[in-house]
Chains A and B, each alone.
Chain A
Amino acid sequence: MTGRLTAGQAVLRALVLLGPPLALLATGLVGVLPAGWLVALVLVLSVAFAAMPESPFGTAALLVVVAWWGLAFRDGLHPQAVLASAALLVAHVAALLTSYGPGELPLDRDLARLWVRRGLAVLASAPAVWAVAVALRGQPEPAGIWVAGLAAAFTATLVASLAFGVGASGGD
């Protein structure tokens, strides 16, 4: 980032900056506020994320928020989780849009519209998962379902990595 940011890029970076702290503070709507140091940590990570959208600080900021939600509510399926998911997704998509070029690159309206549509489409999965989780909440849990789920998730990740990830960059 060497020159002046365009207006579009500045808005995107503001969204990157605000997304993780808002998702963190969303637990306050249920009455559980994070500790001050945690808010400060997420804020610092978010500032670094906004300044360097392609750095690992973004991943760290998002994971800290996710971990906080896991710690704040043990088995608490609050609808505010969908709000937090939206805030995290907005920060992620905004960072993704900034990474299409340097900070001085004007934001392409068509590209922004495309990603707004895509963001809304993938965000629909959050309330869907929440609704399914709420519906299945009272059901008896089959033995080993979580272990099987974990194994399935790892297997899926491994297969996806082998199938699509490795060797994607065919260098010259």
Chain B
Amino acid sequence: MTGWRPTAALSRSLLVGGIGVALAVLAGDPVLVVLVAPFVLLGALGLVHRPTSRPRMTSRLDHGSLHEGQGTVSRLLLEDVADVEQVTRVAAAAPYVALHPRDGRVGRLLGDGPPDLEVSPRRWGRRMLGQEKVGLHSRWAGYRWGPVTLDGQEMRVLPLTAPFDSRAESPQPLGLVGAHRSRRVGSGTEFAGIRPFQPGDRLRRINWRVSLRTDALHVETARAEEDAGVLLVVDALADHGRSGGTTGTASSLDLTVRAAAAIAEHHARGGDRVALRVVGVGGEQVGYGSGRRHLRRLLGTMAALRVGDPTVDEPETLQFGATGGTVVIVLSPMLAESIGTATAAVVRRGLPVLVIDTLPPDAGRDGGPAVAAGIDPVLADLAWRMRKVEREQVLGRLAALGCPVVAWRGPGTVDAVLRRLARRAQLPQVRVR
């Protein structure tokens, strides 16, 4: 029930004042009136300022979607608060959400405005803020409204995009217009060679120095500049290690999502077409696109991904859906056999594939998988070690197929590998279909 109720302070004032005055009158002792006179006044003032308004309150976030580590303000919106003098707000703690004041408790006089809470999510994903209780007090603390419970609000927390800037060429630019040098000759600016003039060549392409020397018109040719397709495959089958948010240790999924976000941002801003395939419960997919709007869509999809085995795809039928002319970047701790199998299948098709290993170095020690009750920890440790041995075998087989595997180390992680892939893409290949 919500409504104005007398406070304990008002009851205490009235009781002490009333009984004190009664005793003074009965005993004819004026010293008791001296003692309780302030209480009589406080009680009377509390009663006189009895509130009649019916306050309404809601809370609202300034931003419902933001990057992890960024901050926003949770504002308390109050209506019909003519009788309210003071507001107290207590918010419950929520995982991976930092509050300021630190414990989520704030109270102030309403004359200074409703108390605000500063909120900062510390991990990507959908974050639900804790419930909060709001109490209002009338003037002279005579009456209290509430505490009223307000439900927590949901935030969509986009992954932090680590500064990432690759200068490496894309191995397979195959689009219309872009920033990557293509294998085919076109109308770019990168010099490709000089050849005899053919009908249809532009006059401004004629190289007069060579033409005079050879007594025949020659033109300069350039390499076309095209955009590239990048398919990001995010392994959300499981989360290994412990996540300490933006300032603590990173779990495998933290590394995966943040690396994918950084790569997506780099390519999408550079005009490349970026697609996303999440291997997890939801099997979220985003088609090819570029630009800021597409990047937000990619980040939003990553923020909403759910961890677990896919319900539709069986391990043996898992496919990434990569098309020709696409660079496939698989971000995974490579602990699931299905991911390794699907990656190998794409490599055999001749597509340039890069595996970014996102298993944290400390996974398996303190940050190893949680052991269910009743299972021998020694046995669990042995199982974990066996799984890591299997992982090494999978990585070895991928390397034998020619698929580079690098651990995510932030900016520059993929430069050298992409350069090697670009050089390899110039060579003739035999593809398995």
Interface residues of B in 83-98 (CB under 8 A from A): 86, 88, 90
Tell me whether B28 is interfacial, beta carbon within 8 Å: yes
Q: In the complex, how many angstroms separate the beta carbon of B26 from the nearest chain A beta carbon?
A: 7
Most chain A CB neighbours (cut-off 10 Å) among B1, B26, B27, B31: B31
**Per-residue contact bits, chain B 259-279, to A (CB 8 Å; 1 contact, 0 not):** 000000000000000000000
Q: Which residues of A contact B7 (CB under 8 A)?
A: 54, 96, 99
CB atoms of B143 and A133 under 8 A apart = no
B41 to chain A, nearest CB (A): 4
Stretch with Cβ within 8 A of A (4 or more), from B12-20, B73-81, B164-172:
B12-20
User: CB-CB < 8 A to B9: which residues of A?
Assistant: 92, 95-96, 99
Chain B, residue nearest A128 (CB)? B37
B6 in the interface, Cβ–Cβ < 8 Å? yes
Instruction: Among B25, B47, B106, point to the contact of A164 (Cβ < 8 A).
Output: B47
Please measure, in the bound complex, the distance between the C-alpha atom of A62 and the C-alpha atom of B9, giving whole angstroms.
12
- Which A residues are CB-close (under 8 A) to B40? 125
Which of B28, B34, B86 meets A85, CB within 8 Å?
B34
Which A125-164 residues have a C-beta within 8 angstroms of B? 125-126, 128-130, 133, 146-147, 149-150, 153-154, 157, 160, 163-164
Residue of B24, B32, B90, B112 touching A101 (CB-CB under 8 A): B90
Once A89-B38, A160-B44, A169-B5 are accepted as A-B contacts, the answer to whether A69 and B107 lie under 8 Å apart by CB is no
CA distance A51 to B3 in the complex (A): 26
Taking residues whose C-beta sits less than 8 angstroms from the other chain, chain B's interface range is: 35 or more
Determine the chain A residues whose CB is within 8 A of the CB of B137 once the complex forms.
100
- Distance between Cα atoms of A36 and B269 in the complex (Å): 82
Q: Does any Cβ of A come within 8 Å of B54's Cβ?
A: yes
User: Is B18's CB under 8 angstroms from A157's CB?
Assistant: yes
Return A59 CB to nearest CB of chain B, in Å.
5
Give A61 Cβ to nearest chain B Cβ, in Å.
Answer: 10
Contact, CB under 8 Å: B35 / A85: yes
Closest partner residue, chain A, to B143 (CB atom): A168
Most A-side CB within 10 Å, residue of B6, B8, B12, B28: B12
A171 CB–B CB distance under 8 Å:
yes
Beta-carbon contact of A110 and B109 below 8 Å: yes
Is B404 engaged at the interface, CB distance under 8 Å to the other chain? no
| Residue in chain B with minimal CB distance to A114 | B109
Whether, in the assembled complex, A105 has its beta carbon less than 8 Å from a beta carbon of chain B, the answer is: yes
Binary B-proximity of A57-90 (CB < 8 A = 1, otherwise 0): 0110011011101100111111001101100110
Q: Is the CB of A81 within 8 A of B35?
A: yes
Would you give the shortest CB distance from A154 to chain B, in whole angstroms?
8
Question: Which of chain A's residues have a CB closer than 8 A to the CB of B386?
Answer: none
Whether B30 lies near A77 (C-beta < 8 A) is yes
Please tell me if B151 contacts chain A, counting CB pairs below 8 Å: no
Known: A67-B23, A171-B3. Contact between A105 and B11, CB under 8 A?
no
- Residue A19, interface by CB 8 Å: no
Which residue in B13, B45, B109 is a CB contact (below 8 Å) of A92? B13
Q: Find the residue from B37, B50, B88 having the highest chain A CB count within 10 A.
A: B37
A18 CB–B CB distance under 8 Å: no
Cβ-neighbour of B6 out of A69, A129, A165 (below 8 A)? A165
Across the interface, which residues of B come within 8 angstroms of A164, CB to CB?
Answer: 47-48, 50
Residue picked from A74, A102, A114, most chain B C-beta under 10 Å: A102
Flag if A96 contacts B141 (CB, 8 Å). yes
A120, closest chain B residue (CB): B38
Judging by beta carbons under 8 Å apart, are A75 and B5 in contact?
Answer: no
Chain A residues lying within 8 Å of B90, measured Cβ to Cβ, are 101-102, 105
**Chain A residues whose CB sits within 8 angstroms of the CB of B31 once the complex forms:** 69-70, 73, 75-78, 81, 130, 133
Q: Do A133 and B33 touch across chains, with their CB atoms under 8 A apart? A: yes
A126 near B88 with CB under 8 A, answer no
From residue 29 to 69 of chain B, which have CB atoms closer than 8 A to chain A? 29-42, 44-45, 47-48, 50-51, 54
A169 to B14, CA, bound (A): 17
Contact (A89, B47) CB under 8 Å given A66-B19, A95-B9: no
What is the interface of chain A, defined by CB distance below 8 A to chain B? 3, 23, 53-55, 58-59, 62-63, 65-67, 69-70, 73-78, 81-82, 84-85, 88-89, 92, 95-96, 99-102, 104-106, 108, 110-111, 114, 118-119, 122-123, 125-126, 128-130, 133, 146-147, 149-150, 153-154, 157, 160, 163-165, 168-172
**Which residues does B use to contact A, with CB under 8 Å?**
1-9, 11-16, 18-42, 44-45, 47-48, 50-51, 54, 86, 88, 90, 101, 103, 105-109, 112, 135, 137, 140-141, 143
